[in-house]
Structure 1
Amino acid sequence: MQDNIQIRRLDALDPAAINALSEILIDCVDGGASVSFMHPLTRSRADNFWNGVAPGVAAGERLLLVAQDQDGTILGTVQVVLSQPENQPHRADVAKLLVHRKARRAGLGAALVTAAEHAAALAGKRLLVLDTVTGSPAEQLYKRLGWQVSGVIPDYALWPDGRLCATTVFYKHIGNGTAA
């Protein structure tokens, strides 16, 4: 990873953060990433997504981590969904690992996932789960970082262009956290 990149947690989303995060989300969808949105992703829909995430971030139900360059430009993000059903207080979901195409292949994805694991452990979580497109670079990233494949679900979601794609479900035991 570039030495001038900093991973930090956002505790609130202001308009500038929403703008930057929307730019990354739109770029990922434009690049063909299957991240819950269809192409073309409008600014309004992207902003609505992040505005919907904001209350959970402010309430501490969701951790939002960002990778920023030396100028403070957000280049990537990942979320840890802490709020789970009462019989699952020991686990969290990792969601929306997004890295702008101009910043890929520099270790940001790995740094964001590692930071998410650490933040989840500090929050008392012991098990993380996630899903990603089968055969994607993200799938290879999670495997390299020690995540375990639970299974593959065919025809789980759509690519932004409407084609069906499979998803791989992963889990990882982390830290020695206690039930939250």
Structure 2
Amino acid sequence: MTYFNFNQILSVTMILFAIIDVLGTIPVIIELRSRVGHIQSERASIAALVLMIGFLYAGEAILKVIGLDIASFAIAGSLVIFIIAMEMILGINLFKEEMSTTVSIVPIAFPLIAGAGTMTTLLSLKSQYQTQNIVVGIVLNTIVVYLVLKNVQWLERLLGPTGVNILRKAFGVILLAIAIKLFRSNTHL
């Protein structure tokens, strides 16, 4: 019989919170929302939850079936994050405007929330913690993600246009650095 372990749940929740970094993605979410008008918080949260739990159970097997390794998966995610960062820093739009129906899934649910870093972390956690405790940690983080997505308009009003612009540029540079680090750590050049 399996039991829930509060210490494991707390550890997994804190690790995933740091990796997902939903607070750090607020400027990205505000930017995407300003372009498409509305982000479906529920849809993005549920998609991220399904992706994380699905990858927890079947990630390695899925990647093996399609002939990919975790490093290739991480590099692909880093390229998407790189493009988003360049948009934020340079004030240009590379994603087409008609993506409004899918913006909740790409790039919010994947790769911003349930990206390559989160997925590889889940595989690492699986070797150290019981699966049911990881699932609880995923659910708790998804609730936090939902609350941030749902209240992004309030956060935008709180910061004001100048604050949002400063955060957008600053976090664009940080996001760019994360993308480069993710790319470098998964290439063997």
TM-score (norm 1): 0.32
Point out which structure has higher relative CO (alpha carbons under 8 A, 6+ apart). Answer: 2
More helix by share: 2
User: Larger C-alpha radius of gyration, 1 or 2?
Assistant: 2
**TM-score, length-normalised on structure 2?**
0.31
Higher-strand-fraction structure: 1
